[in-house]
């Protein structure tokens, strides 16, 4: 009789501890920020960021998914000003989004680099100098984001969307600077160039190039597996 009581008591305690851990597990609030193009184009059936949401939504502690602050042709300085001005979309302010978000995916600057490389005839030195200036803006943006956000920030590197391999060196140069910064500041860097530009099935063959369904799924698998392993603590 005493043994039955002990077993029932142990089961009750285990259930109580399990329930308490679920109730007190940090809410997952997931947001994307920056250029709209990579997060949404007419070629892919369902964007990688939405696929990530589908998986996160299965978690008991999922809170919200915000894609309110992605914009067409967004420049880095535009996002900086939006944060400084606390831009509001349907009453939802960007600073509030950043404060509440604990998984943030950032992708911005692709359009301005593409414009520079595809429409302006400059020598290499001037282009590298321009990229240094873009990187300075990028660091300012990350600094402002971190003032409001203490969650996990996932930074997507740039892929070459000019359909010109001659420009690879510029994207690699920019990505290397971003990678080194992320490594030294506890940010997760995803190398979009390595994922997309090294597989002919992952990008269209026009100019500018767009991510295909296959490339979109490759981005999803890479990013979501990282989220699982590092943030949700699941092993894959």
pLDDT digits (tens, 9 = 90+) for 120-179: 777 899 999 999 999 999 999 999 999 999 999 999 999 999 999 999 999 999 999 999
Q: Is the pLDDT of residue 4 over 80?
A: no
Asked if 117 and 66 count as a contact pair (C-beta separation under 8 A), the reply is no
pLDDT at 75: 94
pLDDT band at 44 (very low <50, low <70, confident <90, very high): confident
Average pLDDT over residues 74-99: 97
pLDDT above 70: percentage of residues in the chain: 86
- What pTM value is reported for the model? 0.86
Domain range list for the chain: 27-231
Q: Which two tokens stand for residue 150?
A: 């203490």
User: What is the 3 state secondary structure string of the chain?
Assistant: CHHHHHHHHHHHHHHHHHHHHHHCCCCEEEEEEEEHHHHCCCCCCCCHHHHHHHHHCCCCCEEEEEEEEEECCCCHHHHHHHHHCCCEECCEEHHHHHHHCCEEEEECCHHHHHHHHHHCCCCHHHHHHHHHHHHHHHHHHHHHHHHHCCCEEEEECCCCCCCCHHHHHHHHHHHHHHHHHHHHCCCEEECHHHHHCCCCCCECCCCCCCECHHHHHHHHHHHHHHHHHHHCCCCC
Are 170 and 127 in contact, with CB atoms under 8 Å apart?
yes
Query: Does the 27-231 domain belong in CATH 1.20.1290.10?
Result: no
Residue where the block lists tokens 């989004």: 97
Phi, psi of 148 (to 5 degrees): -105, -20
The percent of residues in the chain predicted with pLDDT above 90, rounded, is: 71
pLDDT in tens, 7-37: 555 454 544 444 433 443 579 999 999 998 8
> Are 153 and 145 spatial neighbours (Cβ–Cβ below 8 Å)?
yes
- What is residue 22's predicted lDDT score, i.e. its pLDDT? 41
- Count CA atoms closer than 13 A to 147's CA, side-chain side: 11
């Amino acid at each position: 009789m005493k043994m039955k009581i002990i077993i029932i008591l142990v089961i009750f305690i285990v259930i109580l501890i399990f329930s308490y851990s679920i109730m007190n597990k940090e809410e997952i609030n997931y947001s994307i920020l920056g250029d709209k193009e990579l997060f949404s184009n007419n070629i892919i059936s369902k964007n990688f960021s939405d696929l990530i949401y589908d998986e996160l939504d299965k978690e008991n502690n999922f809170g919200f998914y915000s894609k309110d602050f992605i914009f067409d042709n967004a420049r880095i300085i535009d996002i900086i000003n939006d944060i400084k001005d606390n831009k509001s979309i349907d009453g939802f302010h960007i600073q509030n989004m950043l404060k509440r978000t604990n998984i943030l995916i950032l992708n911005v600057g692709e359009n301005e680099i593409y414009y520079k490389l595809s429409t302006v005839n400059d020598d290499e030195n001037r282009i590298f100098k321009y990229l240094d200036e873009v990187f300075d803006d990028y660091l300012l943006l990350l600094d402002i984001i971190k003032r409001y956000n203490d969650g996990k920030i996932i930074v997507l590197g740039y892929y070459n969307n000019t359909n010109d391999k001659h420009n690879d060196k510029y994207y690699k140069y920019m990505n290397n600077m971003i990678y080194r910064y992320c490594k030294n500041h506890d940010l997760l860097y995803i190398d979009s160039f390595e994922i997309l530009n090294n597989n002919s099935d992952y990008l269209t063959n026009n100019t500018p190039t767009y991510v295909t369904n296959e490339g979109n799924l490759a981005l999803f698998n890479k990013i979501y597996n990282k989220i699982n392993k590092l943030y949700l603590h699941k092993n894959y």
